[in-house]
Amino acid sequence: MSENINENIVELEDAELEEVAGGKDILKVRKGEVNIRSGPGKEYGVVAIMLRGDELLNLYEKKKDKHGKTWMKVRAVDQNGWIRSDLVK
C-alpha cells in the first residue's frame, strides 16, 4: 500500500458531481449490507454499516479512487463517511 493513500484520489468537477448525485439530498442504500468508510476508497476503515433501504444525507462531496470508482460523502445517523456511488440511489 502506498504511504499516501490520498495520492490517487481525484476531485470531480461540478458537472460530474451533479451527474453522480442527481441533485438528491437523501440517498437510499441499494444493496443488502454496505460499508460506510472513513475515506473515499476500500483502503479506509469502516465507520458504519448500512442496510438496503437505509437513508443517507448527501453531503455533496465526490471523489474518484485509484480504480476510477466514484465515492460520495454522506452522513449516516451521526457519522460522516464515504460510500461508493453505485451503492445508493
pLDDT at 64: 95
- Contacts (Cβ under 8 Å, ≥6 apart) of 44: 5, 37, 38, 82
Structural domain of residue 27, as residue ranges? Answer: 5-87
pLDDT band at 83 (very low <50, low <70, confident <90, very high): very high
Count of domains forming the chain: 1
Cell of 75: 452522513
Q: What CATH number is attached to the domain comprising 65?
A: 2.30.30.40
Alpha-carbon torsion 38, 44, 48, 54, what sign?
positive
pTM over the 0.75 mark: no
Please give the pLDDT value at position 1.
45
Query: What's the pLDDT tens digit per position in 34-80?
Result: 999 999 999 999 999 999 999 999 999 999 999 999 999 999 888 99
Task: In whole angstroms, give the CA distance from residue 68 to residue 30.
Answer: 20
Q: What is the DSSP letter of 29?
A: B
The mean per-residue pLDDT over the stretch 12-37 comes to 75
